[in-house]
Structure 1
Amino acid sequence: MARRYDPDRRRRIIDAAIRVVGERGIAGLSHRSVAAEAGVPLGSTTYHFATLDDLLVAALRQANEGFAQSIKDSPLFAAPAPEPEADPGSGAAAEPGRGAGPGSGAGPATSAALADELSRLLEVWLSGDRTLIELDYDLYLAALRREAVRPIAAEWVDQATALLATHTDPATARALIALIDGICLQVLLTGGTYDRAYAREMFTRLLG
Structure 2
Amino acid sequence: MATGHTDPQRRERIIAATLDLIAEEGIARVSHRRIATRAGVPLGSMTYHFSGIEELLREAFGRFTDHIVAVFDAYLGAAADRDEARAAVADLVHELSEGSQRDLGLTQELYTLAAREPAYRELTHEWMRRSR
TM range (shorter): 0.7 to 0.9
Matches within 5 A, 1:89-168: 102=79, 109-110=81-82, 112-161=83-132
Structure 1 residues not aligned, in runs of 5+: 79-101, 104-108, 162-208
Name the residue aligned to 1:77. 77
| Amino acid in structure 2 at the alignment position of 1:118 | V
> 1-side partners of 2:122 and 2:100: how far apart?
28
Name the residue aligned to 1:17. 18
- Do residues 7 (structure 1) and 8 (structure 2) align? yes
Residue 7 of structure 1 aligns to a residue whose secondary structure is coil
> 2-side partners of 1:129 and 1:149: how far apart?
22
Give the root-mean-square deviation of aligned CA atoms.
2.0
> 1-side partners of 2:131 and 2:4: how far apart?
41
Greater RCO, 1 or 2 (C-alpha within 8 Å, sep 6+): 2
> Structure 1's 29 and 11: CA in aligned 2 closer, same or farther, altered over 3 A?
same
Runs of 4+ in 1 over 6 A off after TM superposition: none
Question: Post-superposition shift, 1:51?
Answer: 1.7
Q: Point out the structure with max Rg over C-alpha.
A: 1
Residue 73 of structure 1 aligns to a residue whose secondary structure is helix
TM-score by length of 2: 0.85
Instruction: Name the one with the larger helix percent.
Output: 2
> 2-side partners of 1:72 and 1:35: how far apart?
32
TM-score by length of 1: 0.57
| Amino acid in structure 1 at the alignment position of 2:54 | D
Question: Post-superposition shift, 1:3?
Answer: 3.6
Q: What is the identity percentage for the equivalent residue pairs of Structure 1 and Structure 2?
A: 33
